Each structure stands twice: as C-alpha cells, then as structure tokens.
Chain A
C-alpha cells in the first residue's frame, strides 16, 4: 500500500487547515504528530476518503479518492477510527461491530461472526461482547472503535487518536497489536503521545500550522536533539524546557546550561520539542 499526497491543501472558509502537503508513505506504521489545530484530523479524513482536498491530489495504491469508483474500492480496503467516535449506546458490543462488518460487505453470516469474535478478542473485549455499549467505560468504547476498524482485515488502517482514553496497560496491549498489524499493511495514526510514536512507528510526520514540518523516522527525530539534552543539579531558566527528575537532578532540553552539566541521550520527545520550538506559533493562512 502506497500513499502519495501532492500539494494537498484544505480550507474551511478563510481558515486553511492543510497547506500544500506533500507526502509519500509506504508499508508500515506512520505516526502523525502535531498540536491541536495542526491539521491532523483533516489529513486523516482525507486519507479516509471522507474529505476532498481543496487543492492537490491524493493517490492510495494508485486509486484516486476523488473518483467515485476508486473511492468505493478504497473504502473496501479501509479500516477507520475517527477522533470523535460515535457508537450506538443501545447496541451490544458484538451487535455494533457486526453492524459495521455488514456495512463493510462481509455478507456471509458465519464468517462475519467469526471475524467479529476475532476483532473483539484482539482488543480484549471478548468477555463483554454481549454488554450494551452504554455500560462501557470510555477506554472500552475506544476499543470497540478499534475492533470495528479491524474487523474486515483492512490493508489501510487510519486511526485518529487511537490511544485516547486507554489506560497504560491497554495502551501497551494496543501497541503490541498495532506492531503486529503494521506488518504487510499501511497504518496511519495520529496522536498527541510522542511515546506512542517512539514505541511503534516506522515513520513520523510532524504537522505544524497545516504544513509538514518533519517527515522521517523516529530515530531521525531523536537525533535532532543529540547534544541538546543535559542533566544538571540546578534548573535552567534559559532552556527550552527543564524539569526535576526522580533522582533530584534536572533534565534540561536546549543549549548547554551554565555550570556542571552532563549530556544525556535524547528521546523522540526531546527531538519533537526542539523541532517545534524552532517553528514559532502555528499560523493558519
């Protein structure tokens, strides 16, 4: 699965949510990072064939979502989890995932139910399959959303904030699941959590003010902070950011602080902070 975006822009009235985005994504897991309003959800909806760009072109495995026939074919291959997940509270968990499976053209009842059971098991919801959705916690409802995205074995998974509302154990389990799903298919996920990207993504895209500020591997992003992360005994007011760690020392990201300072190995989050600090305030055209 190959995704190509060329000069993609999307405007809502006078507000430009995406501005001339060029991207090439291939097999693996791509993480979209960026602050609120950076254009992540707009880009996810364009990839999910729900929105058309105001300008530019999109190709997914050679298919053009602006053409009805190609769009239909793409929707057959797509698993989508929206940021604002809407479920039917009166449906049971099984019934809801089964409903989406029907709409995804899984017509053979026995096979469809087997897939629904497998999707629910993959997200750890097999024991609550008969519970009404209105009785679920927020994290469990999110997992119902992930299960419906997986049920038709899609070759393209577009997941908008998939780990929002999940507790640490659920997030760890979801990362394992996603890492296994990333083999042989294209997964694009948006998140605010840099550690999710560092843990599972094979490539990272940072959106800032509707533009691509960075596209590379998590290692590339991490390397941007090489030689810019320090451990000191005192806080460093001039640094980009500094905080006290559990050892009592301060972790400083930015220029070398005054006094004794030991260089620390950078993280992806350090790279993200340094990258975005140099971009200024996001500006929407």
Chain B
C-alpha cells in the first residue's frame, strides 16, 4: 500500500482509519510519526503536565505570599527555606515583642521604650540564624549550585530584617509609639548585621550573642553614664554611626562571601578533612 498522505491530517484530528490504513500505520514508521506530529494532542506532554501538578509540592504560606507578590518560584522557595523564618522562630520573636508592647501599653510614659530596646535583640537572633554553614542544613549543597552567593546572602538578610521590622512596627504601635521611626530601625539593622557577620564566620549562637552583648553594653553604658540616654542611643550622631556601621559591616560580610566563592567555612572547617 502506498503512503495515505491525504488521510494523515484527518487521522490526526480523530478520524478512525480504514482497516488497511490502520495496518499500514502499524508498520510504517514514517506515517506514524507524521500522524503524531500532526496531532494537536501530545499525550506525553499532557501526561508530564498532569504528573507535574500532581507531584508539585504545596508551597507554604510565605512562599505563596511571595509568589503572589511577583517573586519568582526559585527565589520564593529559597527565601521560604530560611531557617529563622520558621513559624516557631517568628512566634517566639512576636511573643517577646508583644509582651514588651503590652507592658508598655499598661504603663505608658515610663522612660525608655522596651520595644525599641528589644528590637535589636530580636533581630540579632533572627538574622544570625538566617544564613551560614552552621544554621542552614543544606548550606553546602546550596553553595555548590549556580545560585549567586551574594544574592543568597542579601536575600536572606533583607527578608529576615523586613520580617523583624514588621513585628517591631506592630509592637511599637501597640505600645503607643509612632511605629516606623529611625530610632529603632538603624540600631536594629546595625546590631543584626554584626550578629550575621560573626555568625557566618563562627556559629549562629555566637553571632546572636555578640550582637546582643554589643547592644546591651551600649544601653547599660549610656543609661548609667548619662542623664539623657535617649539622646546618646538614638540621637542624630548615634543614627549616623549606626548607618555608617551598618554599611561597613554589610560590605565586610559581602566581601567575605565573595572572596570565599560562596562557601564560608567556620572555625571547625578542618573537621572533615
């Protein structure tokens, strides 16, 4: 039998071919390929799509929210995998700030704002556990992928600092404060970046400890030595110092990550040589 070329488009559209044409199609690879190519329905492709949807992991709340905001799938998954954005971390941070806010609301106008004092402490803990070999279980695997290490670092820092800022802002409003103000944002950022820098090089616990110790020392020193601790801690000069310090620490951290090629090893790097 000669090739039934005139019938092939109709067969591809669903026409049931006569017996002799069916037999020919079964034995003629060229005609079978032509029918498959003409068919509007690629069953293999359709099946891949069905399986893809069936297997697709259900994204968490944060990942879904990020995707809805236009963030790409990959970036959203990477951000959602941040260790210190797990619900227990956020709940603990929110709980700490809520207690401070409620205490302030119950006794308004009683000296330094506890929320503002606590903002850098909570941020130091969250940021120290956001990125690095000791806080991210899959750090070594991720470091060996083409993902830019600098982008990874900045994404994690930005998202965790943003999450912390939202919590502090809400707590400040509950406590009767004005909400967003540089008095807590800049010192929080500076202390958090110090914690991240020390945490990446050593361990997240040491990083958080270093940030908290630094802030505590600043607060206790100013409170004990000055009649106006607010001016020293949150005045214009202090804000400039926080801003300059934040830029300097962030630059040093970025340089460390870039110089290491994305695999920053801590003090225990010899462990598995």
Q: Which residues of A contact B (CB under 8 A)?
A: 12-13, 15, 17, 37, 39, 41-42, 45, 48-52, 65, 68, 71-72, 75-76, 78, 80, 82-92, 94-96, 98-100, 102-105, 107, 109-111, 113-114, 116-117, 129-130, 145, 148
Contacts and interface: CB of A to CB of B under 8 A. Distances in A.
A49 B56 CA distance: 31
Nearest to A111: B48
B144 A78 contact: yes
Contact of A50 (B55, B73, B263): B263
Contact of A109 (B45, B52, B86, B270): B52
Nearest to B59: A95
Contacts of A83: 272
Question: In the complex, which range does the number of interface residues on chain B fall in?
Answer: 20 to 34
B4 interface: no
Interface of B: 45, 48-49, 51-52, 55-57, 73-74, 77-78, 81, 86, 136-147, 261-263, 265, 269-270, 272-273
A17 B146 contact: no
Given A103-B147, A113-B55, A86 B140 contact: yes
A68 B257 CA distance: 12
A9 to B, nearest CB: 12
Contacts of B136: 86
B74 A102 contact: yes
A105 B57 CA distance: 18
Contacts of B140: 50, 82, 84, 86
A82 B141 contact: yes
B146 A104 contact: yes
Contact of B52 (A12, A75, A85, A114): A114
Given A48-B144, A110-B49, A110-B52, A12 B273 contact: yes
A261 to B, nearest CB: 40
Nearest to A11: B270
A86 B57 CA distance: 20
A105 B74 CA distance: 9
Given A15-B273, A84-B272, A86-B137, 9 more contacts: A12-B269, A17-B270, A65-B261, A86-B138, A87-B138, A88-B81, A103-B145, A109-B73, A113-B48
Contact of A94 (B57, B86, B141, B261): B57
Nearest to B272: A41
Given A80-B141, A86-B141, A72 B146 contact: yes
B144 A88 contact: no
A94 B74 contact: no
Contact of A49 (B48, B86, B261): B261
Contacts of B56: 98, 109, 113
Nearest to A52: B261
B261 A50 contact: yes
Nearest to A44: B272
Contact of B48 (A71, A82, A114): A114
B143 to A, nearest CB: 6
A128 B218 CA distance: 52
